[in-house]
Amino acid sequence: MSITLCGKTIGPVGFGLMFYNDCSVDDAVKLMKTAVDNGANCWNGATFYGPPDKNSLVFINAYFKKYPEDADKIVINIKGGVRIPTFVPDNSEENTRETIENCLRQLDGTHKIDVFECARVDPDVSIEDEMKTLVALVKEGKIGAIALSEVNANTIRRAHAIHPIVSVEVEVSLWSTNIFSNGVAATCAELGIPILAYSPLGHGMLAGKYKSHLDLAGSFVSHMPRFHQDAFEKNFELVKAITGVAERKGCTPAQIALGWLRALSGKNGNPVIIPIPGSSNEKRIVENMVDIKLTDEEMEEIQAVLDSFEVTGARYGGKQEQFLEG
């Protein structure tokens, strides 16, 4: 199935540009090249992925200075609209415009912002006012198109009624399946809007990155409720079940998790779903792009696992939880 976004044909799996702070610019560029060479030409970045002097825009700038010939075949999706370091959303016109100008300054003409999205819904700014600002930025040529992130079905409808929404970014994975029951997937399918599935590997959990709670030491995910010790032990049962499917299939658990999303994409009333895994490991990137086709029987086996499993713990917890599905 051919997928088109912003007039460009994109691969069925995208690439997230959230590199760890110890990843150098040169190393990031190599990883980005590996991604695009393996078909991942929809890139998802953010102003807050890393410190201001080493965020997604810095890596994108460096990449296209080295590989300007790739510019026309890659779609750049950027999130912004949150205050650092509190991560509280601010989708006011002033902050949105300031964010866009900063992004354009960091890109320095190497690539345009194909798609921009506010990372969270601002409870103090209506979606209508947010869209008014973004539509003006499209007309001014500052951004190419508008997407949404962490929204509910009603917000999608309200925004799309004002101006076409080209994609909706939400968390979707084997342990975050709520879009299939809360109306988000159905609404996107009805309106013809693709979903960008962030954290499709459950922040590494579903890929088997963590074997025990001790492996989380120093990791940012250790603060998330699903990774707290009691929750980790319960949630690891899902990892073990998926690992069993992977062993019988002869592939990795990550490939099962991504293959499951690809099997759901555009079928049985679902919208197009584009997983956007990120990685700082070249081998993992290549593995993530392999098309593991799951049989109907394997999909049924996975569904049986999901039906019998209840995820323990909220996705983010604390103050950030209130800004989800806005």
Give rounded-to-5 percent helix, strand, coil for the chain. 50, 15, 40
**Strand, helix or coil for residue 183:** coil
Mean pLDDT for 17-42 is 92
Tokens, residue 303: 């569904």
pLDDT of 325 > 80? The answer is no
Better-predicted residue by pLDDT, 210 or 95: 95
- Provide the phi-psi class of 249: left if phi over 0, else alpha when psi is between -120 and 50, else beta: alpha
**Mean pLDDT for all residues in the chain:** 94
Q: What is the pLDDT of residue 76?
A: 98
Query: Per DSSP, what are the bridge partners of residue 196?
Result: 169, 274
Laid out side by side, the sheet with 15-16 consists of 15-16, 42-46, 75-80, 115-118, 145-149, 165-171, 195-198, 273-275
The whole-number pLDDT of residue 20 equals: 66
| Confidence (pTM) | 0.95
Q: How far apart are CA 41 and CA 11, in angstroms?
A: 6
Among residues 144, 120, 272, the alpha carbon closest in space to that of 196 is found at: 272
Please, how many CA atoms are within 13 Å of residue 77, restricted to the half-sphere of its CB?
A: 32
Q: What is the DSSP string of 246-289?
A: HHHHTS-HHHHHHHHHHHHTT-TT---EEE----S-HHHHHHHT
Q: How confident is the model at residue 1 (pLDDT cuts 50, 70, 90)?
A: low
Residue 264 pLDDT exceeds 80: yes
pLDDT at residue 21, as a whole number = 63
Paired tokens of 184: 């988000």
Query: 């499709």: which residue's tokens?
Result: 200
pLDDT of 41 above 80: yes
* CA distances to 4, 15, 22, 217, 269 from 220, in Å: 34, 20, 14, 9, 35
Q: Active-site residue 49, yes or no?
A: yes
Reported as a single tens digit per residue, the pLDDT across 8-24 is 999 999 999 997 667 89
d(CA 317, CA 115): 28
Mean pLDDT of 134-151: 98
Residue 66, burial from CB neighbour count under 10 angstroms (0-12, 13-18, 19+): middle
* Residue whose token pair is 């293959």: 259
Q: Of 49, 63, 198, 210, which is the active-site residue?
A: 49
CA-to-CA distance for 301 and 19, rounded, in angstroms?
33
Domains of the chain: 8-204+254-292 (3.20.20.100)
